[in-house]
């Protein structure tokens, strides 16, 4: 979502004459768009701000040029005051729900008084209504935010505090944005939300649409060939959404469905509101309509009170599901969340050991999944140049990165590809025809 938000920030600043640059030293303004989900992510912000201070000084000393520095995103939301205290060279602090106001905020900077501009409101107005309709092309595979915030309040998670209450964009505005992206060359959309399958946006004629209905409507857009969504909560996988996995061909056979733990005791302490069997039952239902569905998930090890047995339950859940890919993290106490104050915090060394065992298992599953696709012929959406000369890269329906010999003019095409060799994090493939060439 930060990638999407960053793109929208460039859209909102374009009328002021700002354009993105790949070279920080050329920039007149640097915006750090930040993540607060784990401590590591937020600590990075302060080290990055140290580097930006040097960049700001270099521009002033060598070119007499004033570089504006802004901090956006969830660290800005949660630690605005701390940022201006620890890094007084920051000009603007702006939260995730107010970045549509960036032009005004830029106008308020007064380099002479070094007054900082801080905007971390949760405003009445909806930023999506105020962001420009026009935007730059986003490439063949683009993100589209449809939902933000979260009302689930998992005991470890800062999202309900930094992104705020759950909000769904009206379907018509999502569909308009999707149409514009497709007109600019996008063929795959990933619908985004912190709890995207809690989507309940205004539909047509005063009705409320769930995510399944939204996906069905988006699938009717000519030229939109692939749809994905992330991230979901198991409890919000409703019948219509599950059915969509079976009957909407554009909906890709890959699902990121975090479970966090395989222990019922820990799931309860996490306030996840579902148990292990409910999670497994959702996956069974999904696989009954889409047998080749590739599963992904998120896991936290070392949640306060997690015993060896609880952790063993996580490993056994992983074995039961068989993930094609997954993300796993050591529990990181976040200020203001209930679990941060829990007794029985787990020692760092134990967290590290558990993370290592879990990742060993998940990596083995990922490799086994990749191996199982060797020899298959699948559609690849070509997205970019690959790592080596003459190599291009795209994604399989299962979200695997696929490298193959090709050329830049294939970007944006969906090509038929034989998956040849499995690696840990990617596949090699060979294009077997030029079906779908634009």
Binding site for ligand SF4 (CB under 6 A): 150, 152-154, 157, 159-160, 194-195, 233
Instruction: Please choose which of ligand SF4, ligand 5AD, none residue 300 contacts, taking the beta carbon within 5 to 8 angstroms, the exact cut-off set by kind.
Output: ligand 5AD
Closer of 245 and 256 to ligand 5AD (Cβ): 256
Instruction: Please choose which of ligand SF4, ligand 5AD, none residue 37 contacts, taking the beta carbon within 5 to 8 angstroms, the exact cut-off set by kind.
Output: ligand 5AD
Q: Is 18 in the site for ligand 5AD (CB under 6 A)?
A: no
Closer of 156 and 369 to ligand 5AD (Cβ): 156
Secondary structure of residue 385 in the 3-state scheme: strand
Q: Is 252 in the site for ligand 5AD (CB under 6 A)?
A: no
H/E run at residue 52: helix 39-63
Closer of 147 and 410 to ligand SF4 (Cβ): 147
User: How many CB atoms neighbour CB 405 within 10 A?
Assistant: 14
Provide the minimum distance between the beta carbon of 267 and ligand 5AD in the complex, in angstroms, as a whole number.
13
Q: Is 256 in the site for ligand 5AD (CB under 6 A)?
A: no
Rounded Cα gap, residues 19 and 29, in angstroms:
10
- CB 284, CB 245: distance < 8 Å: no
Output phi, psi for 365, to 5 deg.
Answer: -65, -40
Read off the tokens for 437.
């060439």
Identify which of 83, 70, 77, 78 has the alpha carbon closest to the alpha carbon of residue 29: 70
Q: Which residues contact 158 (CB under 8 A, 6 or more apart)?
A: 36, 37, 74, 78, 334, 335, 336, 337
Provide the minimum distance between the beta carbon of 74 and ligand SF4 in the complex, in angstroms, as a whole number.
11
Characterize 349-363 residue by residue with b for buried, 16 or more Cβ atoms within 10 angstroms of its Cβ, and e for exposed: eebeebbeebbebbb
Rounded Cα gap, residues 149 and 267, in angstroms:
21
Provide the minimum distance between the beta carbon of 330 and ligand 5AD in the complex, in angstroms, as a whole number.
6
Distances (CA, A) of 281 to 86, 146, 274: 48, 26, 11
Provide the minimum distance between the beta carbon of 334 and ligand 5AD in the complex, in angstroms, as a whole number.
5
Query: What angle, 0 to 180 degrees and rounded to 10, lies between the N-to-C axes of helices 348-372 and 308-321?
Result: 10
Question: What is the x/- site pattern for ligand 5AD, positions 257-296, by CB under 6 A?
Answer: -x-x------------------------------------
Rounded Cα gap, residues 208 and 100, in angstroms:
26
Q: Is 42 in the site for ligand 5AD (CB under 6 A)?
A: no
Provide the minimum distance between the beta carbon of 233 and ligand SF4 in the complex, in angstroms, as a whole number.
5
Q: Which stretch binds ligand 5AD (CB under 6 A): 23-31, 170-178, 181-189, 327-335?
A: 327-335
H/E run at residue 224: none
Provide the minimum distance between the beta carbon of 92 and ligand 5AD in the complex, in angstroms, as a whole number.
26
Instruction: Please choose which of ligand SF4, ligand 5AD, none residue 152 contacts, taking the beta carbon within 5 to 8 angstroms, the exact cut-off set by kind.
Output: ligand SF4
- CB 432, CB 420: distance < 8 Å: no
Q: Which stretch binds ligand 5AD (CB under 6 A): 130-138, 216-224, 331-339, 392-400?
A: 331-339
Question: What is the x/- site pattern for ligand 5AD, positions 131-160, by CB under 6 A?
Answer: -------------------------xx---
Rounded Cα gap, residues 423 and 133, in angstroms:
41
Q: Is the dihedral of CA 285, 286, 290, 292 positive or negative?
A: negative
Instruction: Please choose which of ligand 5AD, ligand SF4, none residue 331 contacts, taking the beta carbon within 5 to 8 angstroms, the exact cut-off set by kind.
Output: ligand 5AD
Binding ligand 5AD by CB under 6 A: which of 233, 245, 290, 334?
A: 334
Question: What is the x/- site pattern for ligand 5AD, positions 211-250, by CB under 6 A?
Answer: ----------------------------------------
Q: Is 99 in the site for ligand 5AD (CB under 6 A)?
A: no
Instruction: Please choose which of ligand 5AD, ligand SF4, none residue 233 contacts, taking the beta carbon within 5 to 8 angstroms, the exact cut-off set by kind.
Output: ligand SF4
- CB 175, CB 216: distance < 8 Å: no
Provide the minimum distance between the beta carbon of 320 and ligand SF4 in the complex, in angstroms, as a whole number.
21
Provide the minimum distance between the beta carbon of 283 and ligand 5AD in the complex, in angstroms, as a whole number.
16
Closer of 74 and 141 to ligand SF4 (Cβ): 74
- CB 116, CB 90: distance < 8 Å: yes
Q: Which residues contact 250 (CB under 8 A, 6 or more apart)?
A: 215, 218, 219, 224, 225, 226, 227
Rounded Cα gap, residues 309 and 15, in angstroms:
57
CB-based closest residue to ligand 5AD:
298
Instruction: Please choose which of ligand SF4, ligand 5AD, none residue 71 contacts, taking the beta carbon within 5 to 8 angstroms, the exact cut-off set by kind.
Output: none
Q: Which residues bind ligand 5AD (CB under 6 A)?
A: 37-38, 156-157, 258, 260, 298, 300, 329, 331-332, 334
């Amino acid at each position: 979502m930060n990638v999407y938000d960053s793109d929208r920030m460039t859209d909102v600043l374009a009328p002021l004459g700002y354009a993105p640059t790949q070279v920080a030293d050329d920039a007149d303004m640097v915006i750090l768009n930040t993540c607060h989900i784990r401590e590591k992510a937020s600590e990075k912000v302060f080290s990055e701000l140290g580097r930006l201070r040097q960049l700001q000084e270099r521009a002033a000393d060598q070119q007499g040029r004033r570089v504006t520095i802004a901090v956006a995103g969830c660290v800005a939301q949660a630690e605005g005051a701390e940022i201006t205290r620890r890094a007084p060279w920051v000009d603007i602090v702006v939260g995730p729900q107010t970045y549509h106001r960036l032009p005004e905020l830029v106008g308020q900077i007064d380099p002479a008084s070094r007054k900082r501009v801080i905007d971390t409101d949760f405003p009445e107005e909806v930023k999506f209504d105020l962001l420009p309709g026009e935007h730059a092309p986003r490439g063949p595979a683009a993100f589209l935010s449809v939902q933000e915030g979260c009302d689930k309040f998992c005991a470890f998670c800062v999202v309900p505090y930094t992104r705020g209450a759950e909000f769904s964009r009206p379907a018509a505005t999502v569909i308009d944005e999707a149409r514009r992206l497709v007109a600019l060359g996008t063929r795959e959309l990933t619908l985004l939300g912190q709890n995207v399958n809690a989507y309940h946006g205004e539909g047509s004629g005063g009705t409320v649409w769930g995510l399944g209905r939204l996906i069905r409507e988006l699938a009717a857009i000519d030229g939109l060939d692939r749809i994905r969504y992330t991230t979901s909560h198991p409890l919000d996988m409703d019948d219509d959404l599950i059915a969509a996995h079976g009957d909407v061909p554009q909906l890709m056979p890959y699902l990121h469905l975090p479970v966090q733990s395989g222990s019922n005791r820990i799931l309860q302490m996490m306030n996840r509101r579902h148990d292990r069997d409910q999670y497994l039952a959702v996956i069974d239902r999904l696989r009954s309509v889409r047998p080749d569905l590739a599963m992904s998930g998120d896991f936290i090890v070392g949640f306060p009170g997690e015993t060896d047995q609880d952790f063993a339950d996580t490993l056994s859940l992983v074995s039961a599901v068989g993930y094609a890919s997954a993300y796993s993290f050591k529990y990181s106490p976040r200020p203001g969340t209930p679990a941060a104050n829990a007794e029985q915090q787990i020692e760092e060394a134990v967290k590290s050991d558990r993370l290592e065992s879990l990742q060993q298992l998940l990596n083995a599953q990922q490799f086994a999944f990749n191996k199982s696709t060797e020899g298959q012929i699948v559609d690849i959406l070509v997205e970019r140049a690959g790592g080596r000369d003459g190599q291009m890269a795209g994604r399989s329906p299962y979200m695997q990165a696929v490298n193959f010999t090709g050329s830049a003019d294939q970007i944006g095409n969906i090509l038929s590809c034989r998956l040849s060799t499995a690696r840990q994090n990617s596949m090699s493939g060979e294009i077997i025809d030029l079906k779908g060439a634009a």
